[in-house]
Homo-oligomer: A and B are copies of this chain.
Amino acid sequence: MKLFLTFVIFFSLIQISTIFAADFSYSGTTGPAFWGNFNETCLKGKNQSPIDIPYNEFIKFSKPDDVEFHDAHDVVIENKGHTIEISKNLDAKLKIKDNEYNLLQFHFHTPSEHRVNGKYYDVEAHFVFTDTKDNLSVIGVFYDVSDRRNRFFDPIIYNIPDENAKKTIDFIKLSSVIEDINWMNSTYNYFGSLTTPPCSEGVNWWVAYPVQPIGKNQYLKLRDAMGFNSRYTQVRNGE
């Protein structure tokens, strides 16, 4: 009997560790509808992201108090399977009410996660900033397929590593992002969440409206490297 119980406990532990070892994904039983199994906030949170933003709620000339994007050298690009992420040696900051935030990493979603009046865009970039108290603020930028290549994407597209691998990129023209979005001449600012588990809330979002171009081949390469990685839109708080 004791041996039997030991077996039962042993195999239960194996199963529990299997469940926890599984990573979230965008389909099947580890897809967005099941993210509550990774963290309850994904299921029960009241300020979850992304959302469908009514166009008339974008505010002209709204932006964080100060935004700086400097070009970056020797950054790291990582293929995390569910996204392509660039981190390390990034030099960009923003200020919100005397709090300074530094750029921790940026990554991409295809198609866009936020929507505007039910419409979506081909790519959404998330620039994730953090302050010294670990508060998060994210700038979201939309890109649409275009005849015109976007220089910012070139070093990214041509250096996408294999899944779960990393590479170093010599130079990224990060300053062109902020030129691109024309000093964020229209944004939607709200408190939401991470769009992946653990879905933590309290994230200060700045979704920029002017949609930027991305070349057709750049878009297809990025999309096919990541696949579908867009969480479905969440009900806005109060709706």
Tell me whether A118 and B228 are in contact in the complex, defined as CB-CB below 8 angstroms, given that A111-B111, A145-B145 are known contacts.
yes
Q: How large is the interface on A (under 10, 10 to 19, 20 to 34, 35 or more residues)?
A: 20 to 34
Q: Across the interface, do A32 and B119 meet the contact criterion of CB distance under 8 Å?
A: no
Q: At the interface, is chain A mostly helix, strand, loop or mixed?
A: loop
Stoichiometry, as copies per complex, reads: 2
Contacts of A117 in B (CB 8 A): 227
Tell me whether A239 and B111 are in contact in the complex, defined as CB-CB below 8 angstroms, given that A33-B33, A119-B228, A145-B145 are known contacts.
no
- Give Cα distance in the complex from A33 to B52, angstroms: 14
A235 in complex: contacting residue of B29, B145, B220, B235, CB < 8 Å: B29
Q: Across the interface, do B33 and A118 meet the contact criterion of CB distance under 8 Å?
A: no
Q: Across the interface, do B29 and A145 meet the contact criterion of CB distance under 8 Å?
A: no
- Give Cα distance in the complex from A51 to B26, angstroms: 11
Residue A155 at the B interface, CB < 8 A?
no
Tell me whether A232 and B120 are in contact in the complex, defined as CB-CB below 8 angstroms, given that A111-B111, A145-B145, A216-B216 are known contacts.
no
Q: Which residue of B lies closest to A115 (CB)?
A: B228
Which residues 167-184 in A have Cβ within 8 Å of B in the complex?
Answer: none
Write the residues of chain A forming the contact surface with B, with a CB cutoff of 8 angstroms: 25-29, 31-33, 51-52, 110-111, 115, 117-120, 144-147, 216, 219-220, 223-224, 227-228, 232-233, 235-236, 239
